[in-house]
């Protein structure tokens, strides 16, 4: 497959500086840029559960050192980071986290800027909702920060709309991106996908429809189910065990065989056909190359029709390309 000129894949830097050492992190970042990658995603809380201190910040620090060591690379990449989920003390998450008060947002963003070595970030995410703070106060605080765009992760659609409406009212930039868990398989109703810890973290029909109606970007985290599509050592979780997914896996295997591609590569290409930007958090350069090849895979109209026809709900349609 040809190399992508500008890859729509997002490189997730979650484990950089913790389970992925600096040398490997730099190699992944260098290869990502070499293959045409642009967006790099991190968070101020990454990865507190794997760090020696019980706090986040390692990932942003690694990115800051990489940016400093690669003069000129800042012009080739876009940096997205998140705030709001960092634990106040080691072991206190989720009961005690920084949240989204004006003071917490300003302090967290300043620390992120310092770790990244940036005066401005390209996209700032709110990592999860905080109903102890009116969304209007959050929006007004964001308006004063040095970020080009704002997005939300793990938010219900109604709260996104309320925040966007207030931003429009005060002449501020509204949220224009959603980051949620999405993949080809769907979890059983009423259950969260593995690794999703937020009740609004899995892309729903309503969130997808809202994003399509208002032309918000959709980013998908854990789109490849941590390798379970193709790695026999990582069985597909029981949460996906239902007749709908039996049918999905059958057509996914058929399309993968026809395309001489892996299941994961077909999933990535399918997500892009729905205007969803996949996020990859692999730990090996070979994994990154395979994913980038999958992003470049062109599915035929017939293949997309078969992949979509398995699911007769609205979920298959609202963010499809026109």
Reported as a single tens digit per residue, the pLDDT across 153-193 is 999 999 999 999 999 999 999 999 999 999 999 999 989 99
- Tell me what pLDDT residue 294 has: 80
Query: Per-residue pLDDT tens for 235-270?
Result: 999 999 999 999 999 999 999 999 999 999 999 999
Is the residue at 231 inside a domain? yes
Is the residue at 268 inside a domain? yes
Is the residue at 306 inside a domain? yes
Is the residue at 95 inside a domain? yes
Is the residue at 148 inside a domain? yes
Is the residue at 2 inside a domain? no
pTM higher than 0.85 for the full model? yes
**CATH code: domain of residue 73:** 3.20.20.100
What are the tokens at 289?
A: 């190359």
- Tell me what pLDDT residue 318 has: 47
Q: Where are the beta strands (DSSP E) in 202-291?
A: 217-221, 276-280
Mean pLDDT value across the chain: 93
Query: Per-residue pLDDT tens for 39-94?
Result: 999 999 999 999 999 999 999 999 999 999 999 999 999 999 999 999 999 999 99
Q: Which residues pair with 257 in a beta bridge?
A: none
- Tell me what pLDDT residue 282 has: 83
Is the residue at 273 inside a domain? yes
Domain that holds residue 143: 10-316
Closest listed residue to residue 311, CA positions, set 264, 256, 263, 246: 246
Q: Where are the beta strands (DSSP E) in 84-233?
A: 123-126, 150-153, 177-181, 217-221
Residue 20 pLDDT level (bands cut at 50, 70, 90): very high
The conformation of residue 319, written as its DSSP 8-state character, comes to: T
- Tell me what pLDDT residue 314 has: 41
Residue 299 · residue 259 · CB < 8 Å: yes
Residue 316 pLDDT level (bands cut at 50, 70, 90): very low
Helix (H, G, I), strand (E, B) or coil at 239: helix
- Asked if omega into 94 is within 30° of 0 (cis), the reply is yes
**Whole-number Å distance between alpha carbons of 34 and 116:** 21
Query: Per-residue pLDDT tens for 103-155?
Result: 999 999 999 999 999 999 999 999 999 999 999 999 999 999 999 999 999 99
- Tell me what pLDDT residue 7 has: 86
Number of domains in the chain: 1
**Residue 3: is its pLDDT beyond 80?**
no
- Tell me what pLDDT residue 161 has: 98
What are the tokens at 172?
A: 């501020």
Is the residue at 322 inside a domain? no
Phi-psi region for residue 160, left (φ > 0), alpha (ψ -120 to 50) or beta? alpha
């Amino acid at each position: 497959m040809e190399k992508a000129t500008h890859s729509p894949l997002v490189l997730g830097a979650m484990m950089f500086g913790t389970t992925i050492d600096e040398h490997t992190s730099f190699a992944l970042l260098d290869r990502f840029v070499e293959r045409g990658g642009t967006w790099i995603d991190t968070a101020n809380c990454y990865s507190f559960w794997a760090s020696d201190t019980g706090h986040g910040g390692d990932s942003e620090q690694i990115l800051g050192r990489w940016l400093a060591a690669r003069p000129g690379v800042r012009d080739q990449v876009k940096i997205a980071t998140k705030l709001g989920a960092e634990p106040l003390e080691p072991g206190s998450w989720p009961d005690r986290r920084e949240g989204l008060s004006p003071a917490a947002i300003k302090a967290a963003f300043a620390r992120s800027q310092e770790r990244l070595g940036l005066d401005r970030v390209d996209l700032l995410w709110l990592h999860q909702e905080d109903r102890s703070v009116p969304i209007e106060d959050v929006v007004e605080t964001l308006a004063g920060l040095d970020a080009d765009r704002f997005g939300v992760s793990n938010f219900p659609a109604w709260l996104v709309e309320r925040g966007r409406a207030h931003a429009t009212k005060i002449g501020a930039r509204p949220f224009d991106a959603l980051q949620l868990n999405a993949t080809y398989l769907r979890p059983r109703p009423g259950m969260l996908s593995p690794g999703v810890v937020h009740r609004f973290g899995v892309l729903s029909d309503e969130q997808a429809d809202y994003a399509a109606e208002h032309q918000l970007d959709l980013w998908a985290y854990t789109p490849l189910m941590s390798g379970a599509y193709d790695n026999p050592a990582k069985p597909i979780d029981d949460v996906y065990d239902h007749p709908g997914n039996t049918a999905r896996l059958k057509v996914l295997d058929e399309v993968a065989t026809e395309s001489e591609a892996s299941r994961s590569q077909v999933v990535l290409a399918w997500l892009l056909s729905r205007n969803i930007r996949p996020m990859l958090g692999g730990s090996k350069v070979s994994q990154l190359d395979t994913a980038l090849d999958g992003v470049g895979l062109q599915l035929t109209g017939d293949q997309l029709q078969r992949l979509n026809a398995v699911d007769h709900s609205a979920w298959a349609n609202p963010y499809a390309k026109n």
